[in-house]
Structure formats: structure tokens, C-alpha cells
Amino acid sequence: MLASGHASRYRRTMAFSDYVVFVDESGDHGLKTINPEYPVFVLAFCICRKDAYVQQIVPLIHQLKFDFWGHDAVVLHSHEIRKSKGDFAQLLVPETRAAFQERMTAVMQEAEFTLIAAVINKEQLVRRYAQPNDPYEIALAFCIERLQMFLQERGQTDRQTHLLVECRGRAEDDKLELEFRRICDGANRVGALPNLDIRFVDKKHNSPGLQLADLVAYPVGRHVLKPDQPNRAYEVVERKFRQSPAGRIPGYGLKLFP
């Protein structure tokens, strides 16, 4: 029962870093049935400086909720927003949807964070490999490697950085934590990662950071599938990717596989 009980096994032995990482996904990671309309799995890491998260990102998101709902109990979820379901039924009114989209664009532009994402094309994966690995596990390794490089560049690897992931169910959370520990123990291209830890968060906690990660994941997947299709959300998100010193995104902030 790792997801609920690992804290006692992995006690903090170093100071906390200046960053926190929010993790979410778009699409499912199953390979038995692949949706031809969206045959990708996207994993997104939103890396936030803690001071910017507390002072800037959280207020931006809460103010958006107060302005459109009058309270901050709403959980922003990209699928429900696109379908105008539940709390987002008001977006069926064209004027309201336009105003909301404009405001969301402004929030994403203003929010200070760095994005690392991996996109796994599941159709290509099963064609290329007789026994392909789980797309989530593939994406997780790619993103963790690039996260560690990001932290190295900022002199943060001697401090503990937490990855926050939304709970998906006991079995899935336990499986994910086992894979996370395996990667951090050295099953990656950058070596052992004792500075990283994982925390599972229930949706009821209404984490602004996890909602931010949810909102950026889908536009990335849609852009990879249809790069020539207009995608205003991706235009905003693209500016957040980790880049090389020369401004290159592929391989640095965005990994496509296979």
C-alpha cells in the first residue's frame, strides 16, 4: 500500500527546493483499445517556483473562479470545459464561453511556470514494438529526466522537490509510485534521483496547480496530432516549455515518442 504509506519509508533528509511540480495527463495510457480520434497519451509537468505559485498563480485561478461562479469550489477540468458539463454548463452561452476563453488565455499567459511534457503516440508504439511498455511509464521517465536537468541548471538537486499527482485509485497509484521509485533509484539516463519525491492528492483538495497541469496537457496533445490546425491554447502554452539555450523545445521541454 505504497501510495498511502510510503512517507515513513522515505523520510526527508534534505531541505526543500524552491520548486514544486504538478503532474497531470491527457488521454488514457491503455493500449488494447486506442481512440482513433485521440491516439496519444500526454503527460505534463508544470514546474512552479513556490513563491510565484503562492503569490501569483493561486490568486489568478481563484479570482477567475470568483468572477465566473461567485465561489472557488469549482474544479477546472479541461474535458468538462470543452463539453460544457456540470459547473461549466454556463459555457453553452456563446458570449459566456468567449469571455471565459479570453480570461483563461490571459491567466495562462500571466501564470509563471515551466512546462515539460511527453507525448506518446500509442498507434505508432504498438506498430513498432511487439511488447511495448506502458505509455505512462515511458512518459514518466522522459519527464523526470528533463525535470532533473531543469533542477540541475538551477542548483536545486541538493534539495527535495515534490511531484504532486492527482489520485486515480489505489491500484493505479501504487503502480505509479513503484515506477516512480524505480526511475528515481537509477532506471533513467541521469542517475539516482534521491532529491525527488511524490505525493498523491485527492481531487477534493481542489489544487490550483493540478488544475493548471490538466489545462495544459490537452492542447499539447491536440497540437501534436494536428499541428496545422488553429490552437490558441497551444500558442500560449508553447511559450512555457523548457528550452535549450538556443531556444529549442523538442527534446528539452517536449518529448515525442516513438
Confidence of residue 8 (pLDDT cuts 50, 70, 90): very low
Whole-prediction pTM value? 0.94
Confidence of residue 226 (pLDDT cuts 50, 70, 90): very high
Q: pLDDT (tens digit, 9 = 90+) per residue, 111-142? A: 999 999 999 999 999 999 999 999 999 999 99
- Above 50 in pLDDT, residue 221? yes
Distance CA 55, CA 52 (A): 5
Q: What DSSP string describes 64-94?
A: HHHHHHSSS-----HHHHHHT-GGGGGGGSH
In the numeric block, which cell numbers belong to residue 68?
A: 465566473
Distance CA 221, CA 227 (A): 10
- Strand order of the sheet with strand 114-121? 196-201, 160-166, 16-26, 40-49, 114-121, 254-257
Q: For residue 70, tell me if it sits in a domain.
A: no
Q: For residue 33, tell me if it sits in a domain.
A: yes
What's the pLDDT at 13? Answer: 67
What's the whole-number average pLDDT of the chain? Answer: 95
Distance CA 35, CA 32 (A): 10
Averaged pLDDT, 6-18: 67
Residue 244 φ then ψ, to 5°: -75, 170
What's the pLDDT at 4? Answer: 44
What's the pLDDT at 117? Answer: 98
Q: How many domains does the chain have?
A: 1
Q: Contact 83/133 with Cβ under 8 angstroms?
A: no
In the numeric block, which cell numbers belong to residue 101?
A: 476563453
Q: pLDDT (tens digit, 9 = 90+) per residue, 48-94? A: 999 999 999 999 999 999 999 999 999 999 999 999 999 999 999 99
Q: For residue 155, tell me if it sits in a domain.
A: yes
Q: Within 13 A of 50's CA, how many CA atoms are on the CB side?
A: 10
Residue 49 φ then ψ, to 5°: -65, 135
- Above 70 in pLDDT, residue 178? yes
What's the pLDDT at 116? Answer: 98
Q: For residue 88, tell me if it sits in a domain.
A: no
- Above 50 in pLDDT, residue 241? yes
Q: For residue 128, tell me if it sits in a domain.
A: yes
What's the pLDDT at 1? Answer: 45
Confidence of residue 172 (pLDDT cuts 50, 70, 90): very high
Domain extent for 144? 19-49+112-166+177-204+219-257
Averaged pLDDT, 142-156: 98
Distance CA 36, CA 39 (A): 5
What's the pLDDT at 14? Answer: 84
Going through the chain in order, the beta strands assigned E by DSSP cover 16-26, 40-49, 114-121, 160-166, 196-201, 254-257
Q: For residue 251, tell me if it sits in a domain.
A: yes
Residue for cell digits 518529448?
255
Q: Indicate the residue type of 151.
A: L
Q: What percent of the chain has pLDDT over 70?
A: 95
What's the pLDDT at 206? Answer: 97
- Above 80 in pLDDT, residue 10? no
Q: What is the dihedral of CA 174, 179, 183, 188, to 10 degrees?
A: -160
Q: For residue 74, tell me if it sits in a domain.
A: no
Which range (11-20, 123-132, 158-167, 236-245) has the least confidence?
Answer: 11-20
Q: For residue 5, tell me if it sits in a domain.
A: no
16-26 and 40-49 beta bridge pairing: antiparallel
- Above 50 in pLDDT, residue 6? no
150-183 b/e (C-beta count within 10 Å ≥ 16 → b): bbeeeebbeebbebbbbbeeeeebbbbbebbbeb
What's the pLDDT at 12? Answer: 56
What's the pLDDT at 231? Answer: 95
